[in-house]
Structures are given as C-alpha cells and as structure tokens.
Amino acid sequence: MRLTVVGCAGSHPGPDAACSAYLVEHDGFRLLLDLGNGSLGPLQRYADPRAIDTLYLSHLHGDHWLDLIPLAHVRSHHPDGAAPVLPVVAPVAERGRIAGAFGRSASDLGGVFSFSDPADGAIGPFDVAVLRTKHSVETHAIRLTAQGKSLVYTADTGPFDELSHFAQGADVLLAEAGFPDGVPNPPAIHLTGREAGELARAAGAGLLVVTHVAPWDDDQRALEEASIASAGIATLARPGAVYDI
C-alpha cells in the first residue's frame, strides 16, 4: 500500500501544511484518512477528489473533517457530472456535527454521502481494525493491513496501554504529537513527540511518522524527542511525503 501525506498540521492549518489528511492507496482503491481544514486543496495534487472511494473520519474535530464541506460541492456540482455517493466512516454519535455544518439533517445528505460507523472488518482491499482512543470526543485509531503489511494511524489520542498492543508490529506507525513535551498538558487529549516515540518502541513499529504537530510548536523538537524515545526510527510527516508500505 502507499501512504501519501496530504496534510499534517495539528489543530489548525499552518503556512506550509493543511490539517490532517492521509491518502492510502492499494490495488487502485483510494482511502482517505481524515479531511481536515485546508486539505481539499493539496489533495488535488495526488488524487481527483471525485475518485476517492472511501473517507474515514477518525473524529469530528474541524482539523480532521471540515473539508468534507467543499468536498461535497466538488462531488455534487462538478461540470463533468456528479460523483458516486461517497462512503464515509464516522462516529455516529458525532454525526450531527456534519449535518449541522450543511444546515441539513444527516439523512438529507444521503445523495452525497453514505455513513457507517467505525468497525473492524474491511474497507476495499484493506483489512481494518479500529480502536477507540483517549480524546475529548469519540475518536478511533485505525489499523490497515494489505498483503501482509500494516499501517496504524493513531488519530488524536492521549497515551494508553492498549494502543501499543493495537499498533504491535506495524510497518508504519503514523502517530500524532499534538502536544509539546516538558510542559503541563491536559490528560487524555494528545501525545507528545516523546510519547509517540515510546509508543513506536513498545509496539515494535518499523517506522514512526510523527504528525499533527501544531504550527505554533517546534516540529524539529518533536521529531528529536520521538527519535530518542523510539531508538531512531522516527521521521516527520511532510505534505507530499510518500511511503510505500
């Protein structure tokens, strides 16, 4: 499978990066993990937004889903014709946020999106496992496996033991570092670079890709902390970075 970083900024877009969006492709299937604000623009460099096969929304904070709004426009009003209804995996309890943003009920969006809950099973060619994380709204990490290779995306989460079991042996661990280390952070919201590194080491991951660093924080420092804690397997997510897994 191929992972392309579309956007990787945490909490709000930065001058050089949109918010979270990660394109995962295998066997011609295009799965998008999150579509945060600003990410629909750069997505068009890597894929036709009308050709996305499934969108997985880890949770409904704006930095992970808000570009669903312009995506609906692109898919419904393109001069070449409307795109097929897009399967969107999103937590049911939070789905009213989506409908509210469109000023419609969730069922009224049925011509554009078909919603389903995050669940273990399959999406296209991927075997899928999900895990509820520790965040301020319902959030799910996801593990994708294809041809014996696996990618784990932590989504947003504070540290907890089960996460390292979930990520065990991942070839690539895409882990957030939304909080800086060494300052008092609220519990159960985000990882720091060090915690992302500790997670990668506990999971025995092959490669740690550190992402979701806020534009106002020092990403090089987050990478350094992650590198130390992971024993040197960390790299920093950058828009346009491609990982063949």
How many Å apart are CA 226 and CA 216, to the nearest integer?
18
Question: Would you say 34 or 75 has its CB closer to Zn ion?
Answer: 34
Tally Cβ neighbours within 10 Å of residue 183.
7
Question: Which H or E run includes 72?
Answer: helix 68-77
How many Å apart are CA 191 and CA 196, to the nearest integer?
6
Local structure of residue 10 (DSSP, 8 states)? S
Question: Would you say 67 or 156 has its CB closer to Zn ion?
Answer: 156
How many Å apart are CA 131 and CA 245, to the nearest integer?
21
Question: Would you say 156 or 181 has its CB closer to Zn ion?
Answer: 156
Question: Would you say 63 or 219 has its CB closer to Zn ion?
Answer: 63
- Which of left, alpha, beta for 77 (phi over 0: left; psi -120 to 50: alpha)? alpha
Applying CB under 5 A, the residues found at the interface with Zn ion are 63, 156
The nearest distance, CB 33 to Zn ion, in angstroms, is 12
The nearest distance, CB 40 to Zn ion, in angstroms, is 17
